[in-house]
C-alpha cells in the first residue's frame, strides 16, 4: 500500500495510507470493543445459580449489595481502562499526539517556545483567552527529533543555514513551524530592479540561497522540469515563460485578458495563485493592476526568493495548511497542477472547500491545464467540482498523447462561485 503523495505546487508532501498493520490494529480495537461490551452485558445480567431471580438480590442483606456494587465498580474500571487503551490505539493509528516536553534530549529552546504562559492579568475580556499558547503543528510530534535539531541554536546568534531542514519539517506536516530566536542567514539583495521593470528582468543569481539544493544556478534549474507547471520557468527574458497567459498553445490555454473580462461586480482586483512556479501568473496580473499572492514552497528551487525579486508576493505555505486568509476574500483563485492529490479524494475535497471559502461570491476559480492521469481521476475531480455548483464559464477537456503512446487528459476551466444563501 505504501504512501500516496500530494503535489504541492512545486513540492510533494507525503502521508501514509492505512497499512496492513493498522488494519490489524483496527480489528483488535473492534475485538476489544465487543469483548468489553459483552463482559459488561454479562456482568449486569449475571444471576448467581442459587438465586435464580436477580430481583431477589435487592432484598438480601447489605453485604450482598456491597458485593454487587464492588462488582459494578470493577466492571466500570475495566471499561475505563479499555477506553484508555482504545484512545491510545487510536492515537497511534492517526499519529496524533502532542509533544511530550519531558522526553530526554529535547532542545531547551523548543521547551521555552512551547511553554504556555498564563496572562498576568487573568482572562482577557476582549478575546476571552487566559493563556498564551505557542502555535506549532501537531504533526511535529512525528518528527520531534528533527524539530529539536532545528531548535538547537545560539540565542541571539546566527541561525544555522538550515532552511531546507525547516522545509523538510513542513513537508512532513510540522506546520506551522516553531519560531526561533536567532538571525536567519542574511543574503544581500543587490541589483534589484524597480517595479514594474523587475517583473521580467534577470538579477544576479547570487541573491538566492542555493544551500541544500541540487542546482546551484539558474541555468541548471532551467534545464530541468521542476514540476508540471515549471519547466524552464526561471527563464523570464525569453521563451515560453514570456508567452504564458498571453498566447495560446492549445485549447486548454486561456488568455488572461479573456478571463479578466469575465469578472463581475468590481472585476478582478485581488487573486491567489496556488503553486505558481516562478510567479509569472502574478507578473502578468500585476501588469493589469491585479494584486496576486503566489503560494509556493522552495522544493528543488528558490521559488520564494525569485518571486520576491520580481517584486511579487510569495506565500511560503504548504497546501496542507489552511489558507491564512479570511472568508470571501479573493476575486480570483488560479490553480494548476498544484492541486494534484494522489489517491485520496477527501484530501482534494478539503482543499477545494478551503479554496471556495477564500473566494468571494461571483469570484472566479481558474483551473489551468490540470493533468488527469486517467479517466477515474477526471471523474472524481469533475464530481468534486460539480458539488460546489459553480457556474461553468469555460470547461475544456483536452487530450494529449504522451511519450508512451497513452492518452492523457487535461482539464481547464473558469468557474464562477455562486451566491449561496
Residues forming contacts to ligand NAG in the complex (CB under 6 A) are 60-61, 63-64, 67, 202, 218-219, 222, 234-235, 237, 288-289
For the chain, the residue count is 421
Q: Which grid coordinates belong to 341? A: 492529490
The set of cell numbers assigned to 385 is 467540482
- How far is the C-alpha of 161 from the C-alpha of 157, rounded, in Å? 12
Which residue lies nearer to ligand NAG by CB, 202 or 243? 202
Q: What is the nearest approach in angstroms of ligand NAG to the Cβ of residue 413?
A: 25
Taking the least distance from each CB to ligand NAG, the nearer of 125 and 237 is 237
User: Which of 235, 320 has the CB closer to ligand NAG?
Assistant: 235
Query: For residue 329, what are the contacts with CB-CB under 8 A and spacing of at least 6?
Result: 270, 358, 359, 360
**Nearest distance in Å: CB 299, ligand NAG:** 18
Tell me the closest approach of the beta carbon of residue 219 to ligand NAG, in angstroms: 5
Q: 49 or 117: whose CB is closer to ligand NAG? A: 49
The C-alpha cell 534545464 sits at 223
What b/e sequence results for 273-290 when a residue is b if at least 16 CB atoms lie within 10 Å of its CB, and e otherwise?
bbbbbbbbbbbbbbeeeb
Beta bridge partners of 401: 407
CB of 51 to ligand NAG, least distance (A): 7
The CA angle 116-118-122, to the nearest 5 degrees, is: 155
CA distance 89 to 26: 9
- Closest residue by beta carbon to ligand NAG: 218
Q: Phi first, then psi: what are they for 10, rounded to 5°?
A: -105, 0
Nearer to ligand NAG among residue 63 and residue 117 (C-beta): 63
Q: How far is the CB of 412 from ligand NAG (least distance, A)?
A: 24
Phi first, then psi, for residue 47 (nearest 5°) are -125, 120
- Whether the CB-CB separation of 269 and 364 falls below 8 Å is answered with no
125 is written with which cell numbers? 475580556
Taking the complex as a whole, the smallest distance from the CB of residue 7 to ligand NAG amounts, in Å, to 24
DSSP classification of residue 205: G
- Cβ-based nearer residue to ligand NAG, 306 or 390: 306
Find the shortest distance in angstroms from Cβ 64 to ligand NAG. 4
Of residues 36 and 278, the one with the C-beta less far from ligand NAG: 278
The sign of the CA dihedral 132, 137, 138, 144 is: negative
CB closer to ligand NAG, 4 vs 67: 67
Task: Please state the closest distance from residue 56 (CB atom) to ligand NAG, in A.
Answer: 9
Amino acid at each position: 500500500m505504501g504512501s500516496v503523495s500530494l503535489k504541492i505546487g512545486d513540492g510533494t508532501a507525503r502521508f501514509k495510507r492505512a497499512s496492513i498493520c493498522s488494519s490489524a490494529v483496527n480489528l483488535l480495537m473492534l475485538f476489544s470493543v465487543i469483548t468489553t461490551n459483552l463482559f459488561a452485558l454479562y456482568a449486569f445480567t449475571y444471576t448467581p445459580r442459587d438465586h435464580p431471580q436477580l430481583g431477589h438480590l435487592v432484598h438480601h442483606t447489605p453485604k450482598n449489595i456491597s458485593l454487587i456494587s464492588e462488582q459494578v465498580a470493577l466492571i466500570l474500571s475495566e471499561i475505563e481502562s479499555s477506553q484508555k487503551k482504545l484512545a491510545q490505539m487510536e492515537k497511534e493509528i492517526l499519529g496524533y499526539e502532542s509533544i511530550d516536553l519531558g522526553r530526554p534530549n529535547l532542545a531547551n529552546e523548543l521547551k521555552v517556545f512551547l511553554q504556555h504562559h498564563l496572562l498576568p492579568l487573568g482572562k482577557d475580556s476582549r478575546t476571552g483567552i487566559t493563556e498564551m499558547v505557542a502555535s506549532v503543528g501537531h504533526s511535529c510530534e512525528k518528527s520531534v527529533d528533527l524539530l529539536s535539531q532545528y531548535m538547537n541554536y545560539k540565542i541571539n546568534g546566527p541561525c544555522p543555514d538550515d532552511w531546507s531542514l525547516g522545509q523538510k519539517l513542513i513537508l512532513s506536516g510540522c506546520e506551522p513551524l516553531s519560531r526561533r530566536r536567532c538571525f536567519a542567514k542574511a543574503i544581500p539583495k543587490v541589483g534589484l530592479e524597480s517595479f514594474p521593470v523587475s517583473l521580467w528582468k534577470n538579477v544576479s543569481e547570487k541573491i538566492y540561497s542555493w544551500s541544500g539544493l541540487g542546482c546551484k544556478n539558474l541555468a541548471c534549474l532551467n534545464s530541468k522540469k521542476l514540476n508540471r507547471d515549471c519547466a524552464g520557468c526561471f527563464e523570464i527574458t525569453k521563451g515560453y515563460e514570456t508567452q504564458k497567459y498571453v498566447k495560446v498553445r492549445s485549447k486548454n490555454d486561456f488568455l488572461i485578458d479573456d478571463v479578466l473580462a469575465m469578472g463581475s461586480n468590481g472585476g478582478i482586483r485581488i487573486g491567489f495563485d496556488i503553486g505558481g512556479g516562478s510567479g509569472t501568473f502574478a507578473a502578468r496580473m500585476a501588469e493589469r493592476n491585479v494584486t496576486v499572492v503566489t503560494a509556493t514552497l522552495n522544493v528543488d528551487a528558490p521559488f520564494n526568493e525569485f518571486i520576491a525579486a520580481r517584486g511579487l508576493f510569495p506565500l511560503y505555505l504548504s497546501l496542507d495548511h489552511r489558507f491564512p486568509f479570511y472568508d470571501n476574500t479573493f476575486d480570483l483563485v488560479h490553480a494548476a497542477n498544484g492541486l494534484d492529490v494522489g489517491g485520496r479524494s477527501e484530501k482534494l475535497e478539503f482543499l477545494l472547500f478551503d479554496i471556495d471559502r477564500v473566494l468571494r461570491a461571483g469570484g472566479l476559480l481558474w483551473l489551468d491545464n490540470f493533468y488527469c492521469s486517467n479517466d477515474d481521476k477526471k471523474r472524481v475531480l469533475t464530481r468534486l467540482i460539480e458539488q460546489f455548483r459553480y457556474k461553468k464559464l469555460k470547461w475544456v477537456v483536452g487530450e494529449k498523447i504522451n511519450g508512451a503512446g497513452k492518452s492523457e487528459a487535461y482539464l481547464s476551466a473558469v468557474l464562477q462561485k455562486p451566491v449561496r444563501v
